[in-house]
């Protein structure tokens, strides 16, 4: 959820500032770009060197750099950030934020921020419970800022109670959960199939196809980035998911892919069948390697179970099913026939006659045809961009 996000972490003068080091590390590990802005008092609790080393960016404290006179532009920082997190947020800083006071760089960045703002208070029990602090917290929430509530425990004063800054892992989980809820496909379970299937002839040889799995993996990554809970059922491929929260199920044959699809689709909202599943499989599999002989070799083939048609027959009310059609002739006619026969909600058509489309390439050119036979044709794009188009269409259907 935090990958690629530009995050400003505001650190205030509190003993809890020692937790900021771990928070920076966790945010960077999650793939975020972190810019630390400290109040002048905060450097008494943790050094800028520590936080700059972890964030891989110079820490900003003052409006101007004393050695060069260069301005740390709070307006540009406010525009750059995807989110502003103030942790620890002291009673003093909360009061400034609530009342629009602007006497340091962090408070100026806060007033300039165009992004969501989160604050994680840290202070002693009596300070946290004081009516002035409660009023300031309520004011900040009324501005649309988000409170990351403090926890209870032993405080620096020796008292026990509420006021401890939330732990860094709790803050990261809170941020990721909040972002996920705002995404288009949050809380939806989606199954994606990708890659080829290999149908064994003997222990050494197989029947397969040229599918690389690139398109299916791109779709799975895009769906996960939109908040979906994705199960990726993949045939043999060298592809690796970019999103770490995808559940991957590896299969080899069409029969194994069928079993996996039946297992996971029954509890899912959507299945996107982008895998290139073999239509035929050897009737018998030789237990030993078949030796080369003079003359021809004949292999009896039998049809594999049509996974897409099977899922279409079992599709429950409210479930969606998406298929692909890779065609070489009569493209639209064949795609529409497949759409209707297999009870699909839409089909993604691509033709081997289009330059840049097809197996193993990094680009694709598609036409989406829905069950009302409305067509949307797209230009040649990268497979990541094509995945985005497909997933937006899916989000429109899910969200009405």
Query: Which tokens go with 91?
Result: 């009673």
Binding-site annotation: residue ranges for CTP: 279, 289, 324, 338, 342
Cβ burial of 45 (10 Å; 0-12, 13-18, 19+) is middle
Residues 154 and 329: their CA atoms lie apart, in Å, by: 73
Active site residue 209: yes
Residues 319 and 311: their CA atoms lie apart, in Å, by: 10
Identical fold for domains 6-182 and 189-398, yes or no, is: yes
pLDDT tens for each residue of the chain, 400 residues long? 788 899 999 999 999 999 999 999 999 999 899 999 999 999 999 999 999 999 999 999 988 776 766 778 888 898 899 999 999 999 999 999 999 999 999 999 999 998 999 999 999 988 999 999 999 999 999 898 999 989 888 777 777 878 889 999 999 998 987 887 777 898 899 999 999 999 999 999 999 999 999 999 999 999 988 889 999 999 999 999 987 779 999 999 999 999 999 999 999 999 999 999 999 999 999 999 999 888 888 999 999 999 999 999 999 999 999 999 988 888 899 999 999 999 999 999 987 777 766 666 778 899 999 999 999 999 998 888 899 999 999 999 998 7
Residues 6+ away with beta carbon under 8 Å from 263: none
DSSP reduced 3-state for 61: coil
Nearest to 35 by CA among 98, 79, 97, 69: 79
Domain boundaries defined on the chain: 6-182, 189-398
Residues 30 and 244: their CA atoms lie apart, in Å, by: 10
- CATH code for the part of the protein at 189-398: 3.40.50.10300
Residues 6+ away with beta carbon under 8 Å from 23: 9, 85, 87, 168, 171, 172
| Distance spanning both ends of the chain, measured CA to CA | 24
Query: Cα angle vertex 386, ends 385, 391, to 5°?
Result: 100
Nearest to 35 by CA among 47, 45, 27, 44: 27
Query: Which tokens go with 19?
Result: 């937790």
Residues 6+ away with beta carbon under 8 Å from 117: 83, 84, 85, 86, 110, 140, 144, 145, 146
Architecture field, domain 6-182: 3-Layer(aba) Sandwich (3.40)
Catalytic residue of the set 92, 209, 334, 343: 209
Query: Which tokens go with 308?
Result: 């897409």
Length of the chain, please?
400
Binding-site annotation: residue ranges: 279, 289, 324, 338, 342
| Angle formed by the axes of helices 131-142 and 91-99, nearest 10° | 50
Phi, psi of 280 (to 5 degrees): -135, 155
């Amino acid at each position: 959820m935090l990958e690629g996000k530009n995050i400003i972490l505001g650190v205030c003068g509190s003993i809890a500032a020692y937790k900021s080091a771990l928070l920076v590390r966790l945010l960077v590990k999650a793939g975020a770009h972190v810019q630390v802005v400290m109040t002048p008092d905060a450097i008494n609790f943790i050094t800028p060197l520590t936080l700059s080393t972890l964030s891989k960016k110079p820490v900003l404290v003052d409006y101007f750099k004393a050695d060069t006179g260069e301005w740390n532009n709070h307006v540009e920082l406010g525009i750059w950030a995807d989110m502003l997190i103030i942790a620890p947020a002291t009673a003093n800083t909360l009061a400034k934020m609530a009342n629009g006071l602007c006497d340091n760089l962090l408070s100026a960045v806060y007033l300039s921020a165009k992004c969501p703002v989160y604050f994680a208070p840290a202070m002693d029990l009596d300070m946290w419970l004081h009516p002035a602090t409660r009023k300031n917290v309520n004011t900040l929430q009324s501005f649309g800022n988000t409170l990351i509530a403090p926890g209870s425990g032993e405080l620096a004063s020796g008292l026990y109670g509420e006021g401890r800054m939330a732990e860094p892992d709790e803050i990261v989980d809170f941020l990721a959960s909040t972002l996920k809820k705002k995404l288009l496909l949050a809380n939806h379970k989606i199954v994606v199939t990708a890659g080829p299937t290999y149908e064994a002839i003997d222990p050494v040889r197989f029947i397969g196809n040229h599918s690389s799995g690139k398109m299916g993996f791109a779709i799975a990554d895009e769906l996960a980035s939109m908040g979906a809970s994705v199960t990726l059922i993949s045939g043999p491929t060298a592809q690796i998911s970019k999103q770490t929260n995808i559940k991957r199920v590896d299969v080899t044959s069409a029969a194994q892919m069928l079993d996996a699809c039946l297992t996971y689709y029954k509890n899912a909202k959507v299945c996107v069948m982008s895998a290139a599943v073999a239509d035929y499989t050897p009737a018998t599999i030789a237990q030993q390697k078949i030796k080369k002989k003079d003359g021809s070799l004949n292999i009896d083939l039998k049809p594999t179970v049509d996974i897409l048609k099977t899922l279409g027959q079992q599709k429950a009310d409210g479930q969606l099913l998406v298929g692909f059609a890779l065609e070489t002739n009569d493209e639209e006619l064949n795609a529409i026939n497949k759409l209707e026969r297999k009870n699909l909600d839409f089909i993604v058509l691509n033709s081997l006659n289009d330059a840049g489309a097809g197996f193993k390439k990094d680009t694709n050119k598609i036409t989406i045809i829905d069950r009302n036979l409305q067509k949307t044709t797209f230009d040649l794009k990268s497979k990541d961009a094509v995945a985005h188009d497909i997933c937006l269409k899916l989000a429109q259907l899910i969200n009405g």
